Amino acid sequence: MTDNRIDYYPTHEHEGIKFRRGHTLPFGATMVANGVNFSIYSSASTSCTLVLFERGEAEPFAEIPFPDEFRIGNVYSMIVFELNYERLEYGYRMDGPYNPAAGLRFNKSLILSDPYAKVIGGRDTWLNKPNWDNVYQYRSRLAFEDFDWEHDHPLETPIEDLVIYEMHVRGFTKHESSGVKNPGTFSAIRSKVAYLKELGINCVELLPIYEFDEWENSRESPTTGEVLVNYWGYSTVNFFAPKAGYAATGKFGMQVDEVKTLIKELHKSGIEVMLDVVFNHTAEGDHRGPTISFRGIDNKTYYMLTPEGYYFNFSGTGNTLNCNNPVVRNMVLDCLRYWASEYHIDGFRFDLAAILGRAQDGRPLSNPPLLESLAFDPILAKCKLIAEAWDAGGLYQVGSFPAYGRWAEWNGKYRDSVRKFLKSDPGEVGGMIQRVMGSPDLYSLRGPTASINFITCHDGFSLYDMFAYNEKHNEANGENNNDGANDNNSWNCGWEGETSDPAINFLRHKQVKNALAILLVSQGVPMVLMGDEVGRTQKGNNNTYCQDNDLNWFDWTQQETNADLYNFARGMINFRRVHPVLRSPTHFQYWDYVGSGYPDISFHGTKAWNCDRSASSRSFAFLLCGDHAKQGIVKDDMVYVAMNMYWGGLHFELPALPPEKKWYLFANTDMPSPVDIYENGQESLLANQSDFLVGSRSVVILIGK
């Protein structure tokens, strides 16, 4: 090693450990020649001590107070020499006043995790019982950042071409039926890449993978006696470290390489990776919660506090991260840049993102600097940014989220319209017309790609349960069924829960297919919830955040037992992918701007060219002209979709095609499997080219070619 730099040599010594003044940036612990550079910000502390552990040891092997001259501004930094990168665990003690009313909660008896740690030890194997007496529970560690990506690069798939699959890392393969090595891990997902590919998915959105503590608020289920845990993980311990318990190699501290290997593998199959990120709060809870990191390092910087020093709670979980404090803003930016560049992440979905637009005192900002910075960041320039555009404090911004030309939104109005329409509510046709067009009523200036369309997500009923339950059944959560949403717009098809009645079961499956069909022919970006393609059930539980069991795990036998649903879902997803006319990046213009003789989109009813939008109407059809696909850049077939949510069959007069084309049936949810859907290219020529009887509560898809 060349040693022609002065800072290759220590200048200080403390109990045999050699060190010197460090570099203030970057924050965190960084490997440098001969040593490790530690840098941490704290505005209100009076002094800081670096605490060093041999991996897993109860007592630290050294505690080095930062000499005063090592602090520049509010940043302490030092380089410590001859540390064992791999065996090292570190933390900090911060000294300062304990004065909650002033927002100060220093306690130097505690050892604190580094907010910028790239690996966290302490919860290395999922549900391995921790030692609660450990003086330091969540240990900061170093990461090797030398991964061999070979030729990999984020995929940069146009957002309108994505089919997003929202999945839980553990839940996807934990069920014994998955038949994989290391079930429930990042690594195991690699064994199922072929499944995702066959299904037609080209983007997985992972529920939180930042380090969290599955033991947080753990307790016993009153109905099953099972331990209830923090299964979803919406409670971040550290924003830079992947969840060790999700890694087969977590016990060896190799989760960083394991996650990167998974991403590299997914990318090879053309599948993007999006992360569900939770910047609205942390795992430290309110004033009664544990002090893990932020609270003890700089409480009033990291959290939104009331004038009395208590925690604002716009997240419904006790605390709210102070996202528009410039220091915290930089941390969020550093974090996303790190995941985009170091992990090749393709996009981010921001949990309760309305909070990111609130000022430090909680007011919604008209021009939130954090959202603007993310939108214009050079490193995040090609990442998808998706907001859950509401928060638990009542700020609802669907259609009005500050987008800066970049941000897309989870379209909650899409979910509600489609659910109501599917259960035959009156007065929904007008809304549905907006939804299938990519919600121009909400996104007139932003285009359909601002709309992430979904009918179900982890939060709420699964798609099958939407048609098996009128009411939520959350007793297993131990909160007297008071948790979870009540406005589900679900319909049990005539019987609450499981039944052997074949007519009800046929209708339920038909409704699942109707939902998938509508979702996948709508403009915008569809998102499918893991397992909905095989009729996954949560037994009526619409808030399974704490259930580490069959309620959440993907049961792979359902691919056989509900083969009709799987076949239909796969067919619909791939239908979308072969028909660019379904994936417009801009809103329709309602006129024929390519000279095909048809407008880009037209609406129909039981009479062609006549759509009944009245309150009593429960059906409509639309026709997409393939010559207008991608604004006329590519040629596609004509696609005609009829949706009849009336409880009787209706004859739909078909719009006339140009003489050289004929109508072919692609899908008819009223038919039993396998004649409910055809392979792409194998569609069935219609005997009657002018009229189609659309069954009760059915969706019919035709193509004209």
When asked if residue 396 is in the footprint of another protein (CB under 8 A), the reply is: no
Taking residues 594 to 623 in sequence order and writing x for each that binds another protein by CB under 8 A, - otherwise, the string is: ------------------------------
Distances (CA, A) of 531 to 74, 385, 497, 546, 558: 48, 24, 18, 18, 9
**Smallest separation, CB 140 to another protein (Å):** 16
Task: Work out which of 139, 264, 406, 508 binds another protein, going by CB under 8 A.
Answer: 264
**Smallest separation, CB 268 to another protein (Å):** 11
Tokens standing for 7?
Answer: 């800072």
Whether 24 contacts 77, CB under 8 Å: yes
When asked if residue 260 is in the footprint of another protein (CB under 8 A), the reply is: yes
Tokens standing for 446?
Answer: 């932003």
Task: Work out which of 5, 127, 219, 252 binds another protein, going by CB under 8 A.
Answer: 252
Interatomic CA distance for residues 356 and 347, integer angstroms = 17
**Smallest separation, CB 385 to another protein (Å):** 28
Task: Work out which of 85, 590, 591, 593 binds another protein, going by CB under 8 A.
Answer: 85
When asked if residue 125 is in the footprint of another protein (CB under 8 A), the reply is: no
CA atoms within 13 A on the CB side of 492: 14
The size of the interface with another protein (CB under 8 A), counted in residues, is 24
When asked if residue 146 is in the footprint of another protein (CB under 8 A), the reply is: yes
Tokens standing for 586?
Answer: 């801009």
Stretch that binds another protein, among 144-152, 459-467, 510-518, 583-591 (CB under 8 A): 144-152
When asked if residue 261 is in the footprint of another protein (CB under 8 A), the reply is: yes
String of DSSP letters for 658-680: PTT--EEEEEETTSPTTTTB--T
**Smallest separation, CB 187 to another protein (Å):** 4
Query: How distant is the alpha carbon of residue 423 from its chain centre?
Result: 27
**Smallest separation, CB 128 to another protein (Å):** 18
**Which of 86/226 has CB closer to another protein?**
86
Of 89, 388, 409, 465, which is the active-site residue?
Answer: 388
Task: Work out which of 79, 169, 199, 248 binds another protein, going by CB under 8 A.
Answer: 248
Taking residues 437 to 456 in sequence order and writing x for each that binds another protein by CB under 8 A, - otherwise, the string is: --------------------
**Which of 259/275 has CB closer to another protein?**
259
**Smallest separation, CB 338 to another protein (Å):** 19
**Smallest separation, CB 266 to another protein (Å):** 12
Residues forming a β-bridge with 276: 349
Interatomic CA distance for residues 569 and 559, integer angstroms = 11
Of 351, 532, 600, 683, which is the active-site residue?
Answer: 351
Q: Smallest Cα–Cα separation from 314: which of 342, 354, 344?
A: 354
Burial class of 46 by CB neighbour count within 10 A (0 to 12, 13 to 18, 19+): exposed
Task: Work out which of 46, 84, 134, 400 binds another protein, going by CB under 8 A.
Answer: 84
630 phi-psi bin (left φ>0, alpha ψ -120 to 50, beta other): left
HEC string of 517-581 equals: HHHHHCCCEEEEECCHHHCCCCCCCCCCCCCCCCCCCCCCCHHHHCHHHHHHHHHHHHHHHHCHH
**Which of 192/604 has CB closer to another protein?**
192
**Which of 71/87 has CB closer to another protein?**
87
When asked if residue 257 is in the footprint of another protein (CB under 8 A), the reply is: yes
364 phi-psi bin (left φ>0, alpha ψ -120 to 50, beta other): beta
When asked if residue 253 is in the footprint of another protein (CB under 8 A), the reply is: yes
**CB neighbour burial string for 618-629, b if at least 16 within 10 angstroms, e if fewer:** bbbbbbbbbbbb
**Smallest separation, CB 335 to another protein (Å):** 23
**Which of 147/454 has CB closer to another protein?**
147
Residues forming a β-bridge with 21: 78
Q: Smallest Cα–Cα separation from 78: which of 48, 54, 115?
A: 48
Residues forming a β-bridge with 623: 602, 640
**Smallest separation, CB 80 to another protein (Å):** 16
When asked if residue 37 is in the footprint of another protein (CB under 8 A), the reply is: no
**Smallest separation, CB 40 to another protein (Å):** 24
Annotation marks residue 388 as catalytic = yes
CA atoms within 13 A on the CB side of 285: 8
Annotation marks residue 69 as catalytic = no
**Which of 133/150 has CB closer to another protein?**
150
**Hunting for tokens 């909160």 — which residue is that?**
479
Task: State the greatest distance between any 2 C-alpha atoms of the chain, in Å, as a whole number.
Answer: 90
Stretch that binds another protein, among 215-223, 232-240, 257-265, 416-424 (CB under 8 A): 257-265
What end-to-end distance do the CA atoms of the chain give, in Å?
A: 68
When asked if residue 148 is in the footprint of another protein (CB under 8 A), the reply is: yes
Taking residues 166 to 205 in sequence order and writing x for each that binds another protein by CB under 8 A, - otherwise, the string is: ---------------xx--xxx------------------
**Which of 250/460 has CB closer to another protein?**
250
When asked if residue 501 is in the footprint of another protein (CB under 8 A), the reply is: no
Residue 149, C-beta contacts closer than 8 angstroms, at least 6 positions apart? 260, 264, 344
When asked if residue 389 is in the footprint of another protein (CB under 8 A), the reply is: no
When asked if residue 152 is in the footprint of another protein (CB under 8 A), the reply is: no
Burial class of 647 by CB neighbour count within 10 A (0 to 12, 13 to 18, 19+): exposed
Stretch that binds another protein, among 35-43, 140-148, 350-358, 573-581 (CB under 8 A): 140-148
Give me the active site residues, please. Answer: 351, 388
Positions touching another protein (CB under 8 A) are 84-87, 144, 146-148, 181-182, 185-187, 247-249, 252-254, 257-258, 260-261, 264
